[in-house]
Structure 1
Amino acid sequence: MSASANRQARTLLLKEYRGVLSTHSKSMPGYPFGSVVPYCLDDQGRPLILISRIAQHTHNLQLDAKCSLLVGERGAEDVQAVGRVTLMAEAEKIIDHAQVEAAAQRYYRYFPESESYHSAHDFDFWVLKPVRYRFIGGFGAIHWLDDAALANPFAGAAELSMVAHMNADHAKAIAHYVELAGLPKTELATLVGIDSEGMHLRLGQSLYWLAFAEPCNTPTQVRQALTQLAHAEKWPTLEQAEA
């Protein structure tokens, strides 16, 4: 299977942060039930969601954990001509205290408003454990993928340290990334996540993932990539993996 297709599917999941969660209806057996959910990827590259205990999709997942998440490119004029991925998964509620804390730490960075209703209401974190992916990159570019997820080597203390340092000491560099990438300048940008292939910026209520020119596997490589971008005149071309 094409390594490029795996990377494109993963890139789409990184670039987007909301999708349609389809579950097996409890109240209407035999029918699928679709609902919109925000998500971010966890330390293993799997979608992490925060859902209410009283929500219909939660009741459905408690009865049958099999589900799918459909994610498509935002703002597409022709939805059939652009990328979309359907992730078939087994949903699992996170109950271990340490894992809940790690999930909250990550999710709150991406969705700060979630901290108030998570603590005040009955919401739980669930992870969508991938079973198979159906990726369509446009007309004729159709792939079944067994594993497009990629673990984040920096998840935890290393990522937190890099994110905090950039936001505290390098606001000008982040503003330059926004300009290079052609993102809206109406909101102050903050760095919220770093993975081996890129970084997430938050502008207002929106999230944007920007790819590095090549994968970074150590904090030193990330620092070098961020420094180069801070002095670049245009965003470097992402080196696509070959089949």
Structure 2
Amino acid sequence: MSIKPAKHARELLLKEYHGVLSTHSKAMPGFPFGSVVPYCLDAQGCPLILISRIAQHTHNLQQDDKCSLLVGERGAADVQAAGRLTLLAEARKLMDEAAIEAAAARYYRYFPLSRDYHRAHDFDFWRLEPVRWRFIGGFGAIHWLEQVALANPFVGESEASMVEHMNADHSAALAHYVTLAGLQADEPAELVGIDSEGFHLRLGAALHWLPFATSCNSPLDVRQALVALARAEVWPTGGDVEG
């Protein structure tokens, strides 16, 4: 497996928070059915979606769990020259209560409005388990990849603790990250997630993933990376992280 394509594919998956979910139509057999869904990544780096039990794509998945998720670069001027990633997957509905609670805790941070409709209506969490990936990084950069997802060492109490601490005590640092990354912010930034390669900020309704200069494998690594960014004048760049 080539390292760079897998890394770039994963970064696209991390940076974009919605995609086109294609399922096998139950109402129109033989036809694919596409719908837009928001997602965040779970502990294993796989897309986690929250969908209604009455939605057409849910009925389709209940009959045939094979699906795909197409993710493209937001705001691309030329979609054919921009990166895009297609995940071929098998969808699994979360049934275990502990798994559902863990999924909800993470998903709500990314999409806080989902808390209300998840509780008020019949919505379920589904995990898209990768079978194969197709990444196109631009003209001529076309790759079939067997492994793109990367397990997140922080999902759970460790991530929740770091997120809570940063939001409660380091709003100035979060504002500096926004400026450093050149993002437009009409509202204060809120940290919503951390992975080994970067972190996720929510600015109003918009989500942004920002990379660390080097991979972080412990909370201490994360702390040192965040402190370095809070003191930086330009966003640091590092070597490629293994895919």
Q: Smaller-chain TM-score range?
A: over 0.9
Map of 1:41 onto structure 2: 41
CA distance in 1, matches of 2:34, 2:22: 4
Deviations 1:89-133 (A, max 9, x none): 000000100000000000000000000000000000000000000
1:160 aligns with 2:160: yes
Shift in Å at residue 187 of structure 1? 1.6
TM-score, with structure 1 as normaliser: 0.99
Contact 1:16 1:73 in 2 (8 A): yes
Structure 1 residues without counterparts, runs of 5 or longer: none
TM-score, with structure 2 as normaliser: 0.99
Map of 2:184 onto structure 1: 184
Per mean C-alpha deviation after superposition, the further-off stretch among 181-190 and 108-117 is 181-190
Give the alignment of 1:43-192 within 5 angstroms. 43-192=43-192
Query: Letter of the aligned partner of 2:24 in structure 1?
Result: H
Contact 2:7 2:242 in 1 (8 A): no
Map of 2:221 onto structure 1: 221
Partner SS for 2:239: coil
Query: Letter of the aligned partner of 1:195 in structure 2?
Result: D
Query: Letter of the aligned partner of 1:60 in structure 2?
Result: N
Contact 2:83 2:136 in 1 (8 A): yes
Q: Percent identity?
A: 72
1:235 aligns with 2:235: yes
CA distance in 2, matches of 1:231, 1:207: 23
CA distance in 1, matches of 2:70, 2:103: 22
Shift in Å at residue 185 of structure 1? 1.9
Shift in Å at residue 239 of structure 1? 1.9
Query: Letter of the aligned partner of 2:97 in structure 1?
Result: H
Q: Give the count of matched residue pairs.
A: 243
What's the RMSD between the two structures over aligned residues?
Answer: 0.9
- In the TM superposition, structure 1's runs of 4+ consecutive aligned residues that sit over 3 Å from their partners are none
Deviations 1:23-56 (A, max 9, x none): 0000000000000000000010000000000000
Query: Letter of the aligned partner of 1:235 in structure 2?
Result: W
Query: Letter of the aligned partner of 1:26 in structure 2?
Result: K
Query: Letter of the aligned partner of 1:62 in structure 2?
Result: Q
Partner SS for 2:102: helix
Contact 1:17 1:39 in 2 (8 A): yes
CA distance in 1, matches of 2:3, 2:201: 26
Partner SS for 2:20: strand
CA distance in 1, matches of 2:167, 2:7: 28
Deviations 1:157-197 (A, max 9, x none): 00000000000000000000000000112121100000000
Contact 1:6 1:148 in 2 (8 A): yes
Query: Letter of the aligned partner of 1:167 in structure 2?
Result: N
Contact 1:19 1:71 in 2 (8 A): yes
CA distance in 1, matches of 2:179, 2:41: 25
Per mean C-alpha deviation after superposition, the further-off stretch among 230-239 and 196-205 is 230-239
CA distance in 1, matches of 2:188, 2:157: 24
Contact 1:2 1:242 in 2 (8 A): no
Shift in Å at residue 242 of structure 1? 7.2
Query: Letter of the aligned partner of 2:72 in structure 1?
Result: G
CA distance in 2, matches of 1:182, 1:172: 15
CA distance in 2, matches of 1:132, 1:126: 18
Contact 1:211 1:238 in 2 (8 A): no
Partner SS for 2:229: helix
Partner SS for 2:26: coil
Shift in Å at residue 238 of structure 1? 3.7
CA distance in 1, matches of 2:170, 2:178: 13
Query: Letter of the aligned partner of 2:8 in structure 1?
Result: Q
